[in-house]
Amino acid sequence: MNLLFKLAAKNLIGAGLRTWLNVIVLSFSFLIIIWHKGLLDGWDRQAKNETIKWETGGGQYWQSSYDPYDPFSLTEAHAKIPSTLDSLVSAGNVAPVLITQGTIYPRGRIQSILIKGINSNQKLLKIPSSLFIKNSEEIPALIGKNTATDNGIKEGDLVTLRWRDVHGTFDANSIKIIGIFDTDVPSVDMGQIWVPLDHLQKMMGMPGEATIIVTDKEQQGTVNSEEWKFKNNEFLLKAITDLIKMKSVGGFVLYIILLSLAMLAIFDTQILSIFRRQKEIGTYIALGMTRGQVVGLFTIEGSLNSVLAGLLAALYGIPLLAIQASHGMSIPGGSKGFGLAVADRIYPVYSLGLVITTILLILLTTTIVSYMPSRKIARMKPTEALRGKIQ
């Protein structure tokens, strides 16, 4: 086997341009597959980390009627915050959030909105709720940059807010935008307004109540109540996981196309090699190689294309991917509309597992593609091969 590797390497290098064309095409495939997968992995990691920091924390207790996809459930979805969490709420280590529907009238236009009440002392989420403490406005409010941009709202603006309290009575007041926060997590930004929890409880007539309670990981299972159901991050981040999976399927199609192109080049070269090198094949057999050894030699020659491609891809790919991993990749502005966390820049993550899997995948497919045409050698008559007669 060692001998076959040496001979195959020699033949491959000796083939010159034919080899390098294959190797270049294959190295592109290596690089684009790794880059694309790294980008998805980076997005996945970034989206989940940001969503945990801004929205889900270490998990959430949901009031049993709460259904984020059914706005009508919000009327019923509120309950007293369990007393077992009182000390943690006071310390800011859990963050109860009361959610209700409302309407704002920015610049004379009507806009439906979710009103979310959150404690000013919470330390769990990145929502800059501490700004509430510094403001003595009647109703201070925070909004995300995208909501502000969409509605033409600036910091310091007074906006009319209308809501319906626990008794079904409509009420309205002016709120002052005391801060605009920038986040990569659209689900805490788009169509939402954040006000102090105690204010919203008073506005709604729901003292001490919340719709969800954001906790850290350690609080899982500490609330033993039919009213509150714990949702872990696996559940809360499912939308992101599903989207990445969907993107991965799309990416898989891209891999197949890229791999097919590269494999077609290898297959074509192998066919051409066997066609053009019949005399050489006959000579190998005359000199004492078995047909199996010759098939092995040609298969290894084909497979070594992917080894050379891996080395070439490493040569120009490592610096390229490293630069991109440190500078990130700019994402077009409109992508916030996806409804999922997409940062302005995605930093691809290239794990060792990803690189090794890609190398093995390409090596395996190249070997198979190299072997298939090489089997023809086993059926060749050495006497005909020696004469270079097409078989």
Partner 1 sequence: MENSTLISIEALKKHFLTSGGRFTALNGIDLKIGKAEFTGVVGPSGSGKTTLLNIIGSLDSPSEGRAIVLGQSISDLNPKQAARLRRTELGFIFQSYNLLPVYTVFENVEFPLLLLKLDDSQRRKMVMDSLEWLGLTDKVKSMPSQLSGGECQRVAIARAMVKKPEIVLADEPTANLDAANSHHILKTMVQLNNEFGTTFIFATHDEKVIGYLKRKISLIDGKVTTDEIRNN
Site residues for partner 1 per CB under 8 A: 3, 6-7, 10-11, 13-15, 279-280, 282-283, 285-291, 293, 381-383, 386
Nearer of residues 13 and 356 to partner 1, judged by Cβ = 13
CB nearer to partner 1: give 60 or 273: 273
CA distance 379 to 362: 27
Q: Please identify, using beta-carbon distances, which residue of 6 and 229 lies nearer to partner 1.
A: 6
DSSP 53: I
**Rounded distance between C-alpha atoms, residue 210 and residue 142, angstroms:** 18
| Residue from 67, 70, 63, 61 nearest 206 by CA | 63
| Closest to partner 1 by CB, 201 or 374 | 374
We find the least distance from the C-beta atom of residue 279 to partner 1, in angstroms, to be 6
DSSP 8-state secondary structure symbol assigned to residue 377: H
Strands (E), 187-263: 192-196, 209-210, 212-214, 228-231
Minimum CB distance to partner 1 smaller for 287 or for 352: 287
In the block, which residue shows the tokens 């440190």? 326
* Minimum distance, C-beta of residue 368 to partner 1, in the bound complex (Å): 24
Least Å distance between CB 288 and partner 1? 3
* Nearest-approach distance from CB 355 to partner 1, in angstroms: 32
Residue with tokens 């696996």: 234
Q: Rounded to the nearest whole angstrom, what is the least distance from the CB of residue 307 to partner 1 in the complex?
A: 18
Could you tell me the smallest distance in angstroms from the CB atom of residue 20 to partner 1? 14
- Please identify, using beta-carbon distances, which residue of 1 and 323 lies nearer to partner 1: 1
What's the N-to-C CA distance of the chain in angstroms? 27
Q: Please answer whether residues 193 and 175 qualify as being in contact, where contact means their C-beta atoms are separated by less than 8 angstroms.
A: yes
Please answer whether residues 225 and 213 qualify as being in contact, where contact means their C-beta atoms are separated by less than 8 angstroms.
Answer: no
- Which residue's CB is nearer to partner 1, number 108 or number 288? 288
By the 8 A CB rule, do 148 and 179 touch?
Answer: no
Please report how close the Cβ of residue 5 comes to partner 1 at its closest, in angstroms. 12
* Residue 339: both structure tokens together: 């409804």
Q: How far is Cα 355 from Cα 27, in angstroms, rounded to an integer? A: 13
Q: Please report, to the nearest 10 degrees, the dihedral formed by the alpha carbons of residues 204, 205, 206, 210 taken in order.
A: 10
